[in-house]
Structure 1
C-alpha cells in the first residue's frame, strides 16, 4: 500500500468516527473521580428539633474553673471526627443546673457540649467557663482534648441567666446569644450584643416580657424575637427548647437551612402560637 493510500484511508476512518454518536466513541469512558468525603467535623443532621438527638449523654458534675459547674455532653466525644460546638447556659435566679437537667440533656443529645453553673448578674462565671473549656480543649490529658469547636461558642440563659448572657455578649469568642424570659432591667442589655441573638419570651410573664420587647426595640444586630402563647416565666425555657436547639444548630453548627425556621414569611416559629418579629438580617 502506498503511503498516500494509507494516509487517505486513515483520514477517512477518522472522519467516520467523528460522525458517530458520542456514546459510540466512548464505549468505555473513564469514570469521573470519586468526590472527597466530607471532613466529618459537623454534628449529624436530624429531622426533628423537638426530640432528643442522636447522641447518648454524659453529665459531669462539680467540674469547671470553680468546681461547681456541670458539663453535659455527648458520651463519645469526637466520634467520627466530629468537633462539638459549645454552649454555656445560665440558670434562673435561685436555681442551678439540676433544675435544667432535661434541657441540658436535650441540647447535648444534639451534639453540643453544654456548660452550666449557678448564674450571677455579671456573667463572670460564663466568661470563666469559656476560658476553662478553651484551655481543656488544648490540654492533652483533658477528656475534651481537641474535641471542642472553640470557634463556635454560644451563651444563653433563662431569666437571670439571660441577664448574665447580656452582660458578656461583647466577648469576641461568642458566636451568638439566646435570651429566654430575661429582658435586661435597664433596657441597655442589647448594647453589648455583637452577633445574632434570639429572644424567647412568654405571654404570661408580665415582668420579663415588657423588658424583652424593649430590648428587641433597642437591638441593632440581627435579632429574632418571639412571645410564646400560653407560656409563663417558669415554663418558657422548656416551651422554647425546640427553638433553642434549632437556633444552635443554625448559628453554631452551620445548618443554614434552619434559617427558614426563623427568618421566613412562613417560618415554623412564626405561625399560630407565636408572636414573632425579626430585623437586621
Structure 2
C-alpha cells in the first residue's frame, strides 16, 4: 500500500509541477490580510517545524478558531505558495495550517495534515500557548489543491475528527484508491477550474462514486487548474472557500445559502456550474 501511495503521489506531483511552470498560484500580494473581520497573517513555530500557520493577528475574547489543515498543489512543501487564499480563510476566524515552511522546498504527505491537527489540539490545552483555550478542537476541516487534494482524501477517509473535506482542482488518479471515497462520512465540497482544469474529469468521476447519503457540493468555475488563488485575497475561490468553512464549521446560515437549495448563491451565478447532494 505504501508503494502504491508513493507512486500515485509521484504522478500527481509530476502533473502539477508541469502546470506550475505555466501558472503560479501566487501572482499577486494579499491585501491587507483578508476581507474577513480579522486581519490575518502567518507564522511558524518550533513545535510544528514543517508547517506555516495562518491566523488572525488578534483573536478577540470569546472567539475560538476552528482548525483547517491545508495540502499544497504538487504536494509541495512551501507553506506560502497559496498565501493570498489562506490569509483570506484565516481572516474569517479560522486557524489554517499549511504543509511546508514559508518558501520551503521538497514534498509533503498526508501525515503532515494529521500532524497539523494534532498540534492545534495540543496547543489549545497547553497553558503557556498563545492559543490556549482559543481553538475550537471540535471543528476540523481538511482540504488541498491538486496533489494536496489527494492528501486530504487520505486523511478524511481515515480520521474521525474531520467535519468537512474540500477538494480543490483534484480527483483520484487511480481506481485502486476509490475505496477511500466509500469511507468518507463528513460533508464534502469539490471546486474545479472547469473543463480546462486537468483534474476536472477526475473530480466528476469521484463525485459519481460518493456514498449515496453523503452531503456534497460540486462547483465548476472556468478558471483552469490554478483557479484564482493568486488573486488578492484568493479571488472567487477565497470568497467561496470562506463561505463553505463558515457554514460547515460555524453554522453560518448566510453562508449555507451559497450552496444549499435550488436557488443557492452559486447555483444562480452564471459564472458557476453546480451540483448538490443531500444538502437540504
Question: How many angstroms apart in 2 are the aligned matches of 1:272 and 1:260?
Answer: 16
* Higher RCO (C-alpha 8 Å, min separation 6): 2
Conserved 8 A contact 2:85-2:237: no
| Segment of structure 1 superposing worse, 154-163 or 187-196 | 187-196
1:260 aligns with 2:257: yes
Q: 1:104 to 1:206 in 2, by over 3 A?
A: closer
Q: Report the alpha carbon displacement of residue 211 of structure 1 after superposing the two structures with TM.
A: 0.4
Q: 1:58 to 1:203 in 2, by over 3 A?
A: closer
Q: Which residues of 2 match residues 131-150 of structure 1 at below 5 A?
A: 131-150=118-137
Q: Report the alpha carbon displacement of residue 57 of structure 1 after superposing the two structures with TM.
A: 1.8
TM-score (norm 2): 0.76
Conserved 8 A contact 1:63-1:71: no
Q: Which residue of 1 aligns with 2:193?
A: 202
Superposed CA deviations along residues 133-164 of structure 1, whole A, max 9, x for unmatched, are: 10111110111111000000101011111110
Conserved 8 A contact 1:184-1:211: yes
Q: 1:137 to 1:218 in 2, by over 3 A?
A: same
TM-score (norm 1): 0.76
Q: Which residue of 2 aligns with 1:85?
A: 66
1:174 aligns with 2:162: yes
Question: How many angstroms apart in 2 are the aligned matches of 1:64 and 1:177?
Answer: 25
1:68 aligns with 2:50: yes
Conserved 8 A contact 1:204-1:233: no
| SS, match of residue 252 in structure 1 | helix
Q: Report the alpha carbon displacement of residue 280 of structure 1 after superposing the two structures with TM.
A: 2.4
Residue of structure 2 aligned with 1:243, choices 233, 240, 244: 240
| SS, match of residue 98 in structure 1 | coil
Gaps of at least 5 residues in structure 1 are: 1-50
Q: Indicate the RMSD between aligned Cα atoms, in angstroms.
A: 1.9
Q: Which residue of 1 aligns with 2:217?
A: 224
